[in-house]
Amino acid sequence: MALTWWRPHAVVWGECDPFGLVYYPHMLAWLNDVEHDLWRALGQPIESMIARDRTTFVMGEVAFRFTGPIRYGEPVMIFLRLDSLGRSTLHWSTRVVHGETAAPVCEGTATRVYARVQDDGGLKATAIGPELRALLATTPRPSASLTPTLAAVLDW
């Protein structure tokens, strides 16, 4: 199974409209949150990468689509799966479902580029080294357990 990570989230006021449509920027924020949570669990918080060797994963491309309603206060489960690993890129898929029923809420894909911050503040793509590749080959277990209904989402 590909590296997969998940975390629960309670929808807060302002993340969706009264009709249950999640605002697009929040889909991206949810992806960022779950990805940063994964890096912390792997022992490589993004802020530590930047401080240690001026590297980070920057967004190269992102696409999301709304697939079903969710309301303020309802639980969601945010799933993240590593689909492929390139020389300097990570290709993620994400799926957000209702935290109790597993009804779809939104899904998307993202390409992150591993980059080094240059002296002038610019970014330059750099190869993902063996240490990070080894971490991405592990299968950490998130602390949030999954009901059988939510576990079925992993078969995407």
Model pLDDT for residues 100-115, shown as the tens digit of each residue: 999 999 999 999 999 9
- The ranges of the chain with pLDDT < 50 are none
DSSP conformation class of 22: B
| 113, β-bridge pairs | 58, 89
Which tokens is 27 given?
Answer: 């889909």
Domains of the chain, residue spans: 4-140
Specify the fold of 4-140. Thiol Ester Dehydrase; Chain A (3.10.129)
Determine the pLDDT at residue 31.
Answer: 95
How confident is the model over 53-79, as pLDDT tens digits? 999 999 999 999 999 999 999 999 999
How much is the pLDDT for 45?
94
In this structure, what token pair is assigned to residue 71? Answer: 């309301």
Task: Output the pTM of the full model.
Answer: 0.93
